[in-house]
Structure 1
Amino acid sequence: MKLIVILAFIGILGALAAAGLFMFKNGKQESRGPNMARALALRVGLSVALFLFILLSYLMGWIEPTGLPMQR
């Protein structure tokens, strides 16, 4: 489970880095637009998929919240 979440975070950060690279690499607005938008859309899709996977994992009982002890 931890491996899947770590890989998803790496994918999200990779897509964000790719979008930043497309933004700085190409000076023209026309050439950077589609590539940068595709990378950002991939990042958003991966983020939503990770959230849904964590929610599904919780509902299926694969993960359980540990919580922090309350101190007074």
Structure 2
Amino acid sequence: MKIVIAFALLAIVMALALAGRAMLQDGRDGQPKTNRMVKALALRVGLSIALFLFILLSYKLGWIHPTGVPLK
């Protein structure tokens, strides 16, 4: 379970890096701007929502359990 969540977080960060790279490179040297940044950010949002839904589903199916925070 931890590996799946770590992989999803890594994919989210990579999509954010792709969006940043597209933002810095598009429109340079007189080239027309593309929509690569929009697609990368949309991918990041989709991955984030999918990860959130996967965590909720995992909790409902009993794959993960809350540990709780001990109060002093």
TM normalised by structure 1 equals: 0.90
How far off its partner does 1:25 sit? Answer: 1.1
Aligned to 1:47: 48
- Residues 40-59 of structure 1 show CA distances to partners (whole Å, capped at 9, x for unaligned) of 00000000000000000000
* C-alpha distance in 2 between matches for 1:46 and 1:16: 11
Pick from 23, 26, 33 the counterpart of residue 31 of structure 1: 33
Given the superposition, is the C-alpha separation of residues 22 and 70 from structure 1 closer, same or farther in structure 2, using an over 3 Å criterion?
same
1:24 aligned partner, one-letter code:
L
The unaligned stretches of length 5 or more in structure 1 are none
How far off its partner does 1:30 sit? Answer: 4.5
**CA RMSD, 1 decimal:** 1.5
Q: Paired residues, what number?
A: 70
Identity %, equivalent residues: 56
* C-alpha distance in 2 between matches for 1:16 and 1:30: 22
Aligned to 2:15: 15
* C-alpha distance in 2 between matches for 1:30 and 1:64: 50
Alignment of 1:50-61 (within 5 A): 50-61=51-62
Matched residue SS, 1:10: helix
TM normalised by structure 2 equals: 0.90
The unaligned stretches of length 5 or more in structure 2 are none
The 8 Å contact of residues 16 and 40 in structure 2, kept in 1 or not, is answered as yes
Q: Which runs of 4+ in 1 moved over 4 A?
A: none
